[in-house]
Amino acid sequence: MAAMSILHARIVRLAIAGCELLHDIELTLPLQRWTAIVGPNGAGKSTLLRAIAGLQPCEGEVQLAGRRLQDWPARERARQLAWMGQQETGSDDLTALDVVLLGRLPHRPWLAPLTAADHAAAERAMRATQSWDWRERRLGSLSGGERQRVLLARTLAVDAPLTLMDEPLAHLDPPHQADWMALVRESVTAGHSVVSVLHELHLALQADHLVLMAAGRVEHTGAPADPATHDALRRVFGPRLHITQIDGRWIALPL
């Protein structure tokens, strides 16, 4: 029986300023799983993520939980789909806590005051990403990794069934990368679905499902332990990519 899916995308083409960036993509993202999207620089990973989030118009159709993206009322959709982009700017003058509380916006009627539940969700998310200590600091004053953990807390505070993250591990040191993976695992165990664009292949190989992109197309989808996935990775990244197992986990190293 086919696994249940949270999102299905059929992207015939996506062009920006006359330049075709994605072509002929048919993508199904499994429900309650962690999917990692990988591929070389410029392959179209971020563009694909933006398209399935509805942030970038494309020729085709994206269905979230069986309903076309554009058919979801905006606020309801924002509760269903949490987004963490790359190098987000614009909130530098806000305190870290206020940034995380922005994640609660879809849960409140327009201009309604914050509730105790909003504050509790924000605190829970900040403690989970170990960013609670900086709650009074302005986002712009934080280091790259500290900032990333605040933005991750904002994403967690949405508590959405589907979370899309573009390079969430950028700036994180190895222990915090491991913490991020633990958070993703917890989220998936709680019944959520997570999709992340990752450059860290060794971490992407810990995901439940891998999407490999090259030159604006999906080159391969499959389980990270599947030999066909390893062949596809070597095909795209070249034969110098060494894929092996350490302590039962698959890792990939450029050699």
Ligand X SMILES: Nc1ncnc2c1ncn2[C@@H]1O[C@H](COP(=O)(O)OP(=O)(O)OP(=O)(O)O)[C@@H](O)[C@H]1O
Q: Is residue 87 within the footprint of ligand X (CB under 6 A)?
A: no
Our finding on whether 193 is near ligand X (CB under 6 A) is: no
Q: Residues touching ligand X: how many (CB under 6 A)?
A: 12
Given the DSSP bridges, would you call strands 193-197 and 162-166 parallel, antiparallel or unpaired? parallel
The C-alpha atoms of residue 7 and residue 35 are separated, in whole angstroms, by 11
Residue 208 · residue 35 · CB < 8 Å: yes
In terms of C-beta density within 10 A (0-12 exposed, 13-18 middle, 19 or more buried), how is residue 9 classed?
Answer: buried
How far apart (Å, rounded) are the C-alpha atoms in residues 215 and 149?
Answer: 31
Site string for ligand X, 130-159 (x = CB under 6 A): ------------------------------
**What single-letter amino acid sits at 245?**
Q
57 binds ligand X (CB under 6 A): no
Q: Nearer to ligand X by C-beta: 44 or 106?
A: 44
Residue 29 near residue 7, CB atoms below 8 Å: yes
Q: Output the smallest distance, CB 176 to ligand X, in A.
A: 20
CB-nearer residue toward ligand X: 41 or 189: 41
Geometric angle at alpha carbon 12, from 9 and 17, rounded to 5°: 110
Alpha helices by DSSP H, listed for 190-249, are 201-204, 227-237
For the CB of residue 127, give the shortest distance to ligand X in the complex, in Å. 30
Q: Is 254 in the site for ligand X (CB under 6 A)?
A: no
Report the nearest approach of ligand X to the CB of residue 65 (Å): 25
Q: Does 116 bind ligand X (CB under 6 A)?
A: no
Site for ligand X in 25-54 (CB under 6 A): 39, 41-47
Instruction: Decide if residue 55 touches ligand X (CB under 6 A).
Output: no
Question: Which residue ranges make up the site for ligand X (CB under 6 A)?
Answer: 16-17, 19, 21, 39, 41-47
